[in-house]
Amino acid sequence: MITTGKIAYYVTLFVIVVSLIEACVLTWRQRRDRAPFDWYEVWLSLADVAGRKLFALVPISLAAPVFAFAWEHRLYTLHFDSVLLALLIFLGQEFCYYWYHRASHRIRFFWATHAVHHSPNQLTLSSAYRLGWTGKLTGPAIFFAPLVWLGVRPEVVLAILSFNLLYQFWLHNTWIPKLGWFEYVFNTPSAHRVHHASNVDYLDANYGGVLIVFDRLFGTYVAERADEPCRYGLVTPTRSRNPLVVEFAHWVSLARDVAAAKTLWAALRHVVLPPGWSPDGKGTTTEELRRRSPVTARSEA
């Protein structure tokens, strides 16, 4: 009998093998074109997978008690007994995912984990499974608690989320072009390249999982432009090859800022405001970077 654990194992093995095949092909192509391929980015992603497997053994989860409370006080008990209901649950999950992902970029507490996913300085399939070790401890899954409260079983919510993340595996590449009409409804490699870019014009965009419709609805969709090639990685690039630095550098930075804050209010704002916020107004938030960017100023003129 194939259990959920075995399915997860085979899926993980599949994505790792496919990503390594891509890495080999890209190494050959880029060697031919005299462009370097950084295998350390792949090794750091593999180290992230190994670390998350170990962290999964830690019996602490912020989402678990929230899910339990939501299920205990649920309004209904929903079953996948119709195509329409299944579609509505899928759309609900996409809506929750959009806001979870947006919060992961706009709230520094969540960004401290999510920044690990954006740390690769090249975009390859191996970037897809570099997700950060501390997600279980910070509880971003609480964004999906409304679905549980409405009556969707917690294990179903988590299963749909897993499929959502699996869909996004193929989005992490630079070699699939734009896909025509598909771009208007679904998340694509082109849209996701923008999401992973650190160009000022591309920051904080394209948060969707399977769909891109909520980005279009809420004004966060940005199309990839031929005149603005994507530059991957963080605004301040991560250059370390030490997995511990990659995984915890943003937590250390957050802790230092909180400890150095002159007031409790300033300390709290470091935690809940966007990454790069500074009490003197001279930080590196997306808004401040755009105000200071001559490129953005020219594009808005």
| DSSP string for 260-299 | H-SSHHHHHHHHHSPTT--TTS----HHHHHHH-HHHHHH
Judge contact between 63 and 71, C-beta under 8 A.
no
Question: Apex CA 268: angle with CA 263 and CA 272, to 5°?
Answer: 150
Which residue in this structure is represented by tokens 């630079």?
A: 174
In this predicted model, what pLDDT tens digit does every residue of 30-55 receive, in sequence order?
777 667 889 999 999 999 999 999 98
Collapsed DSSP state (helix, strand, coil) of residue 123: coil
For residue 56, the model assigns a pLDDT of 81
What pLDDT is recorded for position 41? 97
Beta bridge partners of 211: 186
The pLDDT of residue 300 is 39
What are the CA-CA distances from residue 299 to residues 218, 246, 284, 287 (Å)? 21, 34, 20, 15
How many domains does one find in the chain? 1
Asked if 100 and 140 count as a contact pair (C-beta separation under 8 A), the reply is yes
Phi (first) and psi of residue 212, to 5 degrees: -115, 5
pLDDT at 220: 98
Strand partners, 197: 232
Query: What stretches in the chain show pLDDT beneath 50?
Result: 297-301
**Which DSSP string do the residues of 147-194 spell out, in sequence order?**
HHHHT--HHHHHHHHHHHHHHGGGGS-SSS---GGGGGTB--HHHHHH
Query: What pLDDT is attached to residue 67?
Result: 93
Boundaries of domain holding 13: 4-300
Amino acid at 271: V
Please tell me the predicted confidence (pLDDT) of residue 10: 92
Q: How far is CA 79 from the centre of its chain?
A: 29
Alpha helix stretches (DSSP H) within the chain: 4-32, 39-55, 63-72, 83-106, 108-114, 135-138, 145-150, 154-167, 189-196, 213-218, 243-260, 264-272, 286-292, 294-300
What pLDDT does 60 receive? Answer: 80
